[in-house]
């Protein structure tokens, strides 16, 4: 097959293909920016921390999206007033601990979630 590189039909076809590729690239880039902005909004400072700890924005986004999917699949329920008050008291205690006691904070948070998490019975 021989292409006449000066044929107007051929040049128009190439131009259309190039324009479509450029449009697809722009749309993909815009979608990625929206996705990143959404994750930043939903996760706040945790987004930047995830980027630092995972070494790349792509890996961090993947981990955060997986976390969102996992949480969406939880069977959550509202806490009643007594549960809410107990949880808030325990959470204030955990938050009042200095950052150097992070293992204590993690254990306390684990205790909170394992003993009174707002998950409806199945």
How many helices and strands (H and E) does the chain possess?
5, 0
**Average pLDDT value for the chain:** 83
Neighbour count for residue 96 (Cβ, 10 Å): 8
pTM for this structure? 0.51
Neighbour count for residue 113 (Cβ, 10 Å): 13
Would you say residue 94 has pLDDT above 90?
no
Which tens digits make up the pLDDT trace of 46-78? 999 999 999 999 999 999 999 999 888 888 888
Structure tokens at 5: 């590189």
Contacts of 65 (CB under 8 A, 6+ apart): 39
């Amino acid at each position: 097959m021989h292409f006449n590189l000066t044929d107007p039909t051929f040049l128009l076809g190439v131009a259309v293909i190039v324009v479509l590729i450029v449009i697809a690239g722009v749309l993909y880039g815009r979608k990625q920016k929206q996705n990143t902005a959404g994750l930043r909004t939903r996760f706040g400072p945790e987004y930047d921390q995830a980027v630092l700890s995972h070494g790349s924005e792509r890996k961090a986004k993947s981990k955060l999206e997986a976390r969102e999917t996992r949480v969406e699949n939880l069977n959550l329920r509202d806490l009643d007033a007594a549960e809410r008050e107990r949880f808030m008291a325990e959470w204030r205690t955990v938050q009042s601990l200095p950052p150097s006691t992070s293992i204590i904070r993690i254990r306390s948070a684990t205790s909170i979630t394992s003993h009174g998490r707002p998950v409806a019975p199945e």
